[in-house]
């Protein structure tokens, strides 16, 4: 049989940023300008992954001979 596994993963992550500023507005504006992709993130294991699987094709079925544009076709 052919199985399709899907994994939905939402792993909470966190980081701490320390900024020096004279006022709140300055700190907020500086933070907003930072590139969050450059932060050093830590994984928080609050939630596990969700995994599902489905049988795509039974081993008893004959293999399909056509492999082009199968998105719009349905199996009989």
Structure confidence by residue, pLDDT tens digits, 3-13: 777 777 777 78
**19 domain residue, yes or no:** yes
Q: What tokens appear for 56 in the block?
A: 């795509």
- Predicted TM-score (pTM) of the model is 0.47
C-alpha angle with apex 48: 44 to 50, nearest 5 degrees? 140
Per the domain annotation, does 46 fall within a domain? Answer: yes
Q: How many domains does the chain have?
A: 1
pLDDT per position in the chain (76 positions), as tens?
777 777 777 777 888 888 888 888 899 999 999 999 999 988 877 666 666 767 676 666 666 666 555 555 555 4
What range defines the domain where residue 30 resides? Answer: 2-57
What token pair was written down for 62?
């004959």
Q: Which of 47, 44, 42 is nearest to 9 (CA)?
A: 47
SS3 call for 12:
coil
């Amino acid at each position: 049989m052919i199985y399709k596994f899907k994994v939905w993963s939402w792993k909470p992550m966190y980081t701490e940023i320390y900024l020096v500023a004279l006022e709140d507005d300055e700190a907020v504006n500086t933070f907003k300008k930072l590139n969050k992709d450059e932060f050093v993130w830590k994984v928080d294991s609050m939630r596990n992954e969700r995994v599902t699987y489905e049988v795509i094709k039974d081993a008893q079925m004959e293999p399909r001979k056509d492999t082009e544009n199968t998105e719009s076709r349905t199996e009989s």
